[in-house]
Structure 1
């Protein structure tokens, strides 16, 4: 059961990270496009700015799950090093519970915002609903939940300094 969950979690975290990387590529390409149209062609494309913003929002919310998975979101390294092994597991559980509580709030209110945003349209892209912008919060939160549980079941500590 644990191995199956970890396999699913690794797949979903990798998928979220790949999508976050794709959103960074989209934002970068649109940024170059916007610079060329604004300063070279002197015909700015207003729609590119909102798409850059939208892709950056999606990039952040899809990149956060990998940070949770690697234990990088809540850094308590000093306390962790000073604790005995049983204290470390208690600390792992405390961090996981606090993180899950925050992510569940983001999931709940993110979905509420997305549903309420259906009636709004994006400035510069009137045909696209704000639902798609706000949807990044609950989607990212769902991936985060899997990453938090995955880190609790199989902690990964990527230390910056090497053991001596």
Structure 2
């Protein structure tokens, strides 16, 4: 069961990271397009600014799960290094529970915020609901929860092990 969960978690983290990379590429391409239309063609495309912001929001919330998976988001290095192995496992559990609680709040309120924002439209893109921008919070939070549990089941502490 543990191996199955870790396989699913690796797949979902890869999907989230691929999505974050795609959003970065989209934001960069739209930024170049905006510069060309504004300064070369002197016909600014206002809709690109909104989509760049949209892509950056999604990029952040899809990139965070990898940081959680690698144990880079919540780090208690000094306490971890000074503790015996039994205490280290307890620290891992406490940090995982605290991070899951925080992510749970983000998912809960992110979903509520997305639903409330569904009646809004994006400025410059009246056909696109703000729901899709706000949905990044609960979706990213769910990916984060999988990464947190994956890191608790199979910790990746390479930077700590090489530093000792």
Counterpart residue number, 1:28 = 28
Given that residues 77 and 160 in structure 2 are in contact (C-alpha distance below 8 angstroms), is that contact kept between their aligned partners in structure 1? no
Question: Equivalents in 2 of 1:163, 1:51: separation in Å?
Answer: 42
Structure 2 gaps, min length 5: none
Does the alignment pair 1:71 with 2:71?
yes
Q: Offset of 1:59 from its aligned partner?
A: 0.2
TM-score, length-normalised on structure 1? 0.97
* Other-structure match for 1:152: 152
Distance in structure 2 (CA, Å) of the matches to 1:156 and 1:162: 12
Specify every segment of 5 or more residues in structure 1 that has no aligned partner in the other structure, as ranges: none
Q: Specify the alignment match of 2:47 in structure 1.
A: 47
Match of 1:16 in 2: 16
Distance 1:10 1:22 in 2: 18
- Shift of residue 161 of structure 1? 8.0
| In structure 1, distance between residues paired with 2:11 and 2:23 | 18
Shift of residue 78, structure 1, vs aligned partner: 1.3
1:139 aligns with 139
TM superposition shift of 1:162? 3.0
CA distance in 2, matches of 1:101, 1:36: 45
> Which stretch shifts more, 152-161 or 68-77?
152-161
CA RMSD of aligned residues (A): 1.2
What whole-Å deviation, never above 9, does each CA across 1:42-65 have from its counterpart, x for those lacking one?
111000000000000000000000
Deviation at 1:160, TM superposition (A): 6.9
Matches of 1:107 and 1:163, distance apart in 2: 35
- 1:80/1:160 CA distance change after superposition, 3 Å: closer
Residue 100 of structure 1 is matched in structure 2 by 100
Alpha-carbon deviation of 1:15?
0.5
Aligned to 1:2: 2
**CA deviations over 1:67-114 (Å, ceiling 9, x no partner):** 000000012111111111011111101110110000000000000011
